[in-house]
């Protein structure tokens, strides 16, 4: 028995030491999160236009066409909580910042899957992954009790990142996506399956709260706060509900009642009808991102 | 509390340490009582509301076993048969109520509606007790074995209840027979270092196949079975081809974990798989797959039917096999897809029966350089393809879904999908390693077992290799842990 327990103890200790080494190496690898964190820690004073939001902005606007000092801090699958926390962390120490552009897609305010942070349901695995990435690489915890930095324990370590580079964005934080994915027009069907307008009440209140806080921070530091809804393909728009659009616009009206917000809704804009500018039904590809960057720049006089 | 979780690890650590305390090792009754309490805690942890059902049915069968023996002793064969029949009916009735009542009543109502008799059937809200398919079969075999005078009824209720509720196997088997398991509860277990180390190796291998292989493939197969209209033809083909490997890695993984846990406690649990990916035809496949279930069905369903149909020649054999396989299909659950699965597999037996090759499998012999012989290899590929088709049937949501899925596969988008874009390189590597080890470790109980089963020498090397394997599991396991496939059955 002693021999058995001894073997288990030796194996267990060695195992945990190795796990610690893997965790350390994992924290040193480059990825979009670590790069954007590094940029904000070291170059934030150069930023004039800060782009925030999820993939609807990260892939939809090419910051190199937005004028000097544009940087994309937006990141795929991000819940607005992290936008607010990132802005709160850096805005006071960004002397050249003139405007913050936040992307508000049609989906996030009522999308159950990864934008519903207060549940442990398996369906929200992405949300757990998000907590891990922000905690490990951007040093932002979801709340005081959040403990997500152990990637091995949570199964979030992708072995390919241990031996390779996972940095997909360019030096301005832009992740370029070319061409179209397979079955790209079908993806709206999947999207429509996960829409849960019934969650809207609780979700929208939380979303509005964070958006309002971002508007407050911008107002406090005399920075323009611009909100845009990026364009989507006709096949996606076919599934958009008027009820949802009313909620979306209601959020802006609510924020505007307290703080200045400039808003443009490009969701159904006629200029973005061509198939060739979409990666999938709800995301622009690099051709679309160039077009859209120039349009936003012009519309808001950047 | 799944077996590959930290919660189970903590639970088992307590069970193990108390089980082998010197005071406990003095008497088997103390160890059995502790095992029973642990097993009921384990079962109640999943769903405590089902515990009274488990307890009640255990009491009922324990008394039935005693009644059968008494009737035999008194020379009252009729009474013994009646009690046995009562036990079988009770066991099947339990299964029928929990698993099939809604299905049969719903199907009957549909049939009546189809012929113009409008009836409505409101589905009962019946919650399926976890592991009911497994422990019911243990109970039934207990009464049958007593009736056949192969075993004596258990004199101690504690012993019998521990056999039925034994926590490593209650959720998803293997289905241990009373003749093999009950005697193990009649002696105090002393700690056996070699057996425990062997158990640890087996658990580790089980976790590896489950978390690294099965869970990685599960992402693809789940997508295929539920979202097939949106998938390309190649995607669906890959899913079908990978599904037998996924289910094997999943269920064999679970079985290895359960058997390994049993070994640490000093028990020998029935083997559940014998390298089914090496099967050269469907007959061999069923001898290698889910052995504890197929063995049970063979003994209690196939053999009596075969005797009954013995004068009917090939037709009799085919009928016995068909009934056998439909029962196996239905055991999985209440859906016409399971019936169809049984029918499909019985049809696969036809060529073997007609050619006289049924039950005449030659032993696998290695060819040049110890590799598989080409003829055998072709047989394995052919069997795998047939199993893949069977998986489309069993995992579709219903019979119409099977047809729709096949339509999507044939008429869908045939643009090529690179298999490396679906699975990570390390998942593919792990699958290849599994397939190679299947062949080269075919004479072992599990792939990483030491040939001598002696772990007293070179302990450090074993521990070091185990640690590396554990690390590989942690790093390469799929991020989304899928539930064990056989938990749904």
Per-residue model confidence (pLDDT) at position A115: 43
% of chain A at pLDDT higher than 70: 80
Show the CA angle centred on residue B288, arms to residues B282 and B294, nearest 5°.
85
CB contact under 8 A, A4 and B196: yes
ipTM value for the complex: 0.73
Place of tokens 């074995």: B145
- Determine the residue of chain B that is closest to A7 in CA distance: B463
- Determine the residue of chain B that is closest to A15 in CA distance: B467
pLDDT tens series, chain B, 489 aa: 777 788 888 999 999 999 999 998 889 999 999 999 999 999 998 878 889 989 999 999 999 999 999 999 999 889 999 999 999 999 999 888 887 777 777 777 777 777 777 666 665 566 667 788 899 999 999 999 999 999 999 999 999 999 999 999 988 879 999 999 999 999 999 999 999 999 999 999 999 999 889 988 988 888 888 777 778 888 899 999 999 999 999 999 999 999 999 999 999 999 999 999 999 999 999 999 999 999 999 999 888 888 888 888 888 888 999 998 998 888 887 778 888 999 999 999 999 888 888 877 788 888 888 888 899 999 999 999 999 999 999 888 888 888 888 888 888 778 777 777 788 888 889 999 999 999 999 888 998 888 777 777 777 778 888 888 888 887 777 655 556 665 555
At residue A114, does pLDDT exceed 50? no
Start-to-end Cα distance in chain B: 17
Lowest mean pLDDT among A116-125, A250-259, B127-136, B306-315: A116-125
Chain B touched by A298 (CB under 8 Å)? no
Chain A touched by B481 (CB under 8 Å)? yes
Per-residue model confidence (pLDDT) at position A190: 45
User: Taking CB atoms and an 8 Å cutoff, what residues of chain B touch A10?
Assistant: 460, 463
Nearest to B20 among A1, A3, A154 (CB): A1
Chain B touched by A15 (CB under 8 Å)? yes
Chain A touched by B422 (CB under 8 Å)? no
Per-residue model confidence (pLDDT) at position A156: 60
CA dihedral B2, B5, B7, B12 (to 10 degrees): 80
Per-residue model confidence (pLDDT) at position A117: 40
Per-residue model confidence (pLDDT) at position A213: 96
| Pair of tokens at residue A77 | 């699958």
User: Taking CB atoms and an 8 Å cutoff, what residues of chain B touch A19?
Assistant: 471, 474
pLDDT tens digits, residue range A267-278? 999 999 898 898
B475, B477, B480, B483: which to substitute to probe chain A, counting the most A Cβ within 10 Å?
B475
- pTM score, two decimals? 0.77
User: Taking CB atoms and an 8 Å cutoff, what residues of chain B touch A13?
Assistant: none
Determine which helix (DSSP H) or strand (DSSP E) holds B330, and give its type and residue range.
helix B313-331
Report the alpha-carbon distance of residue A289 to residue B446 in Å, rounded: 54
Show the CA angle centred on residue A141, arms to residues A140 and A145, nearest 5°.
160
CB contact under 8 A, B475 and A15: no
How far is B416 from chain A, CA to nearest CA, in Å? 10
Per-residue model confidence (pLDDT) at position B243: 93
Nearest to A182 among B415, B466, B479 (CB): B415
- Determine the residue of chain A that is closest to B191 in CA distance: A1
pLDDT tens digits, residue range A46-66? 999 999 998 888 888 999 999
Report the alpha-carbon distance of residue B220 to residue B391 in Å, rounded: 14
Backbone dihedral angles phi then psi of residue A227, each to the nearest 5 degrees: -115, 135
Nearest to A81 by CA among A116, A42, A120: A116
Chain B touched by A301 (CB under 8 Å)? no
Burial B294-322 (b: 16+ CB within 10 A, else e): bbbbbebbbeebbeebeeeeeebbbbbbb
Q: Is B366 helix (H, G, I), strand (E, B) or coil?
A: strand
At residue A116, does pLDDT exceed 60? no
- Determine the residue of chain B that is closest to A193 in CA distance: B227
Count other Cβ atoms within 10 Å, centred on residue A42.
Answer: 9
The residues, any chain, with a CB within 8 Å of residue B440's CB and separated by 6 or more, are B370
Chain A touched by B17 (CB under 8 Å)? no
pLDDT tens digits, residue range A90-99? 999 999 999 9
Chain B touched by A152 (CB under 8 Å)? yes
Higher pLDDT, A182 or B417: B417
CB contact under 8 A, B227 and A190: yes
Q: What count of CB pairs under 8 Å joins A to B?
A: 69
User: Taking CB atoms and an 8 Å cutoff, what residues of chain A touch B227?
Assistant: 190
Backbone dihedral angles phi then psi of residue A50, each to the nearest 5 degrees: -110, 125
Q: Is B210 helix (H, G, I), strand (E, B) or coil?
A: helix
Task: Give the strands of the sheet with A99-103, arranged side by side.
Answer: A70-72, A49-52, A99-103, A224-229, A262-265
Chain A touched by B76 (CB under 8 Å)? no
CB contact under 8 A, A14 and B467: yes
How far is B138 from chain A, CA to nearest CA, in Å? 32
Report the greatest alpha carbon distance in chain A.
77
Question: Please, are residues A103 and A53 in contact by the beta-carbon 8 Å criterion?
Answer: yes
DSSP string covering A175-229: ----S--TTTTTHHHHHHHHB-GGGHHHHHHHHHHHHHHHHHHHHHTT-EEEEEE
Question: Please, are residues B136 and B173 in contact by the beta-carbon 8 Å criterion?
Answer: no
Per-residue model confidence (pLDDT) at position B59: 95
């Amino acid at each position: 028995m002693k021999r058995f327990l001894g073997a288990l103890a030796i194996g267990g200790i060695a195992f945990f030491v190795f796990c610690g080494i893997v965790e350390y190496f994992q924290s040193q690898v480059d990825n979009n999160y670590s790069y954007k964190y590094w940029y904000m820690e070291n170059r934030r004073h150069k930023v004039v236009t800060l782009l925030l939001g999820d993939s609807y902005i990260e892939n939809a606007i090419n910051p190199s066409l937005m004028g000097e000092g544009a940087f994309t801090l937006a990141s795929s699958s991000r819940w607005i909580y992290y936008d607010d926390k990132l802005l709160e962390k850096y805005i006071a120490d960004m002397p050249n910042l003139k405007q913050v552009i936040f992307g508000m897609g049609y989906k996030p305010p009522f999308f159950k899957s990864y934008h519903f942070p207060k549940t442990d349901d398996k369906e929200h695995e992405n949300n757990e992954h998000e907590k891990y990435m922000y905690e490990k690489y951007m040093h932002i915890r979801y709340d005081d009790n959040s403990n997500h930095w152990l990637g091995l324990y949570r199964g979030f370590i992708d072995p390919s990142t241990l031996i390779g580079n996972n940095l997909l964005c360019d030096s301005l934080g832009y992740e370029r996506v070319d061409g179209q994915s397979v079955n790209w027009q079908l993806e709206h069907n999947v999207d429509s399956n996960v829409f849960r307008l019934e969650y809207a009440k609780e979700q929208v209140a939380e979303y509005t709260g964070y958006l309002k806080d971002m508007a407050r921070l911008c107002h406090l530091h005399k920075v323009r706060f611009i909100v845009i809804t990026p364009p989507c393909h006709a096949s996606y728009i076919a599934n958009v509900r008027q009820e949802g659009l009313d909620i979306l616009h209601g959020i802006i009206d609510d924020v505007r009642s307290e703080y200045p917000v400039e808003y443009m809704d490009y969701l159904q804009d006629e200029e973005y009808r061509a198939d060739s500018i979409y990666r999938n039904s709800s995301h622009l590809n690099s051709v679309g991102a160039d077009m859209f960057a120039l349009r936003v720049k012009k519309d808001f006089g950047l | 509390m799944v077996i590959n979780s930290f919660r189970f690890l903590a639970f088992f650590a307590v069970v193990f340490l108390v089980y082998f305390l010197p005071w406990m090792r003095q008497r088997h009754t103390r160890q059995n009582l502790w095992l029973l309490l642990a097993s009921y805690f384990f079962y109640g942890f999943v769903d405590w509301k089902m515990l009274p059902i488990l307890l009640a049915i255990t009491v009922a069968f324990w008394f039935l076993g005693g009644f059968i023996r008494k009737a035999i002793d008194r020379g009252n064969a009729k009474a013994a048969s009646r009690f046995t029949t009562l036990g079988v009916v009770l066991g099947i009735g339990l299964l029928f109520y929990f698993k099939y009542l809604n299905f049969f009543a719903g199907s009957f109502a549909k049939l009546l509606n189809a012929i113009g008799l409008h009836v409505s059937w409101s589905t009962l809200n019946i919650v399926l007790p976890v592991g009911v398919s497994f422990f019911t079969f243990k109970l039934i075999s207990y009464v049958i074995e007593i009736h056949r005078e192969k075993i004596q009824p258990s004199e101690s209720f504690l012993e019998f209840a521990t056999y039925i509720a034994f926590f490593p196997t209650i959720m998803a088997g293997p289905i241990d027979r009373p003749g093999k398991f009950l005697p193990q509860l009649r002696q105090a277990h002393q700690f056996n270092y070699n057996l425990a180390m062997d158990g640890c190796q087996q658990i580790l291998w089980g976790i590896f196949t489950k978390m690294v292989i099965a869970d990685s493939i599960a992402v693809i197969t789940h997508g295929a079975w539920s979202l097939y209209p949106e998938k390309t033809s190649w995607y669906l083909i890959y899913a079908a081809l990978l599904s037998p490997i996924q289910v094997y890695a999943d269920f064999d993984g679970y079985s290895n974990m359960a058997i390994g846990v049993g070994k640490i406690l000093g028990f020998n649990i029935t083997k559940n798989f014998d390298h089914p990916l090496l099967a050269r035809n469907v007959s061999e496949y069923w001898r290698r797959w889910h052995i504890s279930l197929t063995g049970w069905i063979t003994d209690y369903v196939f053999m009596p039917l075969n005797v009954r149909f013995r004068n009917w020649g090939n037709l009799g054999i085919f009928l016995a096999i068909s009934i056998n396989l439909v029962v196996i299909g239905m055991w999985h659950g209440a859906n016409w897809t399971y019936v169809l699965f049984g029918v499909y597999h019985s049809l696969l037996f036809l060529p073997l029966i007609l050619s006289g090759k049924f039950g005449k499998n030659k032993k696998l012999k290695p060819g040049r350089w110890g590799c598989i012989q080409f003829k055998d290899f072709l047989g394995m590929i052919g069997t795998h393809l047939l199993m893949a088709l069977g998986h489309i049937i069993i995992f579709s949501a219903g019979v119409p879904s099977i047809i729709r899925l096949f339509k999507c596969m044939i008429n869908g988008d045939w643009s090529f999908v690179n298999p490396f874009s679906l699975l990570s390189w390390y998942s593919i590597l792990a699958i290849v390693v599994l397939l190679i080890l299947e062949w080269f470790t075919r004479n072992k109980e599990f792939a990483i077992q030491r040939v001598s089963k002696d772990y007293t020498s070179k302990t450090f090397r074993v521990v070091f290799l185990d640690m590396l394997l554990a690390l590989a599991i942690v790093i390469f396991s799929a991020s989304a842990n899928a539930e064990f496939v056989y938990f749904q059955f």
